[in-house]
Each structure stands twice: as C-alpha cells, then as structure tokens.
Chain A
Amino acid sequence: RKEVEQDPGPFNVPEGATVAFNCTYSNSASQSFFWYRQDCRKEPKLLMSVYSSGNEDGRFTAQLNRASQYISLLIRDSKLSDSATYLCVGPSGGGADGLTFGKGTHLIIQP
C-alpha cells in the first residue's frame, strides 16, 4: 500500500466555489506533510506545509486529522488559475527518512 493516497479526480468546480480534497496516509507516526501544486507540464512547487494545528494561507487551508489519518486541502473562492494537480507529500514509511509523493488530485476550475 502506498504511504499516501489521493483521489486522482478530476474535480470539476465552478469558479468562485469552495473545493476540498483529502489525502490519506498509512504511517500513523508521520508528523509532517505538504501540499505541492503542479501545473501541466511544469515542475511541482510547494503550496503549503500542513501542521497539526492547521495552516491557512489566504484562500487555502490545510489540516491534519491524526485520528482518521488524513490531510485535507480547502480552497475558497476558487479562481481559474487554481486549476492544477495537487500533490500530497508525506514522510516515507517505516520511520525512514525521505518523502513520498501521492499521485495527485487534478482540479479543473470552470468559468
């Protein structure tokens, strides 16, 4: 089983709507997670870190639910420019160092 798993989508959302998607993880000891954004045919770029207390940056909110072992990303007032693939990133399994990437959730904001 992959360490982090995401619904690949696509999520088709009208502009201005709120959208949320989750990423489940298997290693209960994991403490740090990230959301990266990847535009079509571009490199991944860090969107935000996910802290146990939650993290908010403008229209974006990331949260960690340890009890159910998932992290979430909420986007409010979605813009056309939010269309991208969002990668969930967490620690590698077994206590080893390193990161493992989810396969990504594809988001399409429609005008």
Chain B
Amino acid sequence: NAGVTQTPKFRVLKTGQSMTLLCAQDMNHEYMYWYRQDPGMGLRLIHYSVGEGTTAKGEVPDGYNVSRLKKQNFLLGLESAAPSQTSVYFCASSRDYPRPSGANVLTFGAGSRLTVL
C-alpha cells in the first residue's frame, strides 16, 4: 500500500523555469492538499481539492497553480519559479475534509525538495 507518492523528490530550477510536482494517492481519498514547509514558518497550505475537478486556494496560493483531473492525482505547477519558492513541498490526502469538530487524519507524502537558483 503506497499511500501518498510524490514525484520528483528533488529538483533544482533556475529562476523563471516552470515545473510540475505530481502527487498520487491510492486510498480513494476525496480530499487532497499541497503544503509548503519552510524553516521557522511551519506548514502552510498552498491549494487544496475537495474532489475530482475541484481546486481551491489555501493560505499561500500566489505563484502556484493546481489541477485535479483524476481523483487519485493532484498536480502542483510553478509557471515561473522564483527563489522565494525554494522550499519542501508536501502533498497530503484525507478521507474527509477537516472540520472544527471532526477527527480527520491527513496522510502525507514523503515531500519534494525544490531549490530555485
């Protein structure tokens, strides 16, 4: 059972280049998320999806685009990479959407380390 798989695990880009991070989950989860984690900042939500064909903005969406064409996949795109986007990116999925009174669990992928020069 693979859970959540992210590719690539590492990538180095030059400023202005574009790239796509792929997240795949095999748990039939409806909800998927992209986070970035920076030193001293904790995990911040970039975009999320509540089902196939849907996407929504999170806390720090600028400079990123996402797509969820298939239920099991959630893609994160950088159209024109900037050094400020150097970070570790985590994809996560959950069966239900976290609610204030809920007891939901996020399953994370292993992370993708992106460096923008």
Binding site for B on A (CB under 8 A): 8, 27, 29-32, 34, 36, 41-46, 49, 87, 91, 95, 97-99, 101-104
A97 contacts B40, C-beta separation under 8 Å = no
Residues of B within 8 A of A (CB): 35, 40-45, 48, 58, 90, 97-106, 108-111
Task: Tell me if B43 and A44 are in contact (CB < 8 A).
Answer: yes
Q: Which A residues are CB-close (under 8 A) to B106?
A: 36, 44, 46, 99
B74 nearest CB across to chain A (Å)? 15
Beta-carbon nearest neighbor of A49 in chain B: B103
Complexed CA–CA distance, A42 and B109 (Å): 9
Determine the main DSSP class of B at the interface with A.
Answer: loop
For the A-B complex with A32-B101, A46-B106 known, give 9 more contacts whose Cβ atoms are closer than 8 Å. A43-B109, A97-B97, A98-B97, A98-B98, A99-B98, A99-B104, A101-B43, A102-B42, A103-B40
CB distance from B93 to the nearest CB of A (A): 12
Q: How distant is the Cα of A97 from the Cα of B100 in the complex, in angstroms?
A: 6
Give the residue name and chain of the A residue nearest to B3 (CB): A43
A21 to chain B, nearest CB (A): 15
B111 contacts across to A, CB distance below 8 A? 41-43
> Is A95 within 8 A of B43, CB to CB?
no
Contacts A/B (CB < 8 Å), 9 sampled: A36-B106, A42-B111, A43-B90, A43-B109, A44-B90, A91-B99, A98-B48, A99-B98, A99-B106
Contact A91 B98 (CB under 8 A): yes
Nearest CB in chain A: distance from B58 CB, A: 8
Provide the residues of chain A in CB contact with B104, threshold 8 Å. 99
Given A43-B90, A46-B106, check contact A31 B43 (CB 8 Å): no
Distance A58 CA – B31 CA, assembled complex (angstroms): 31
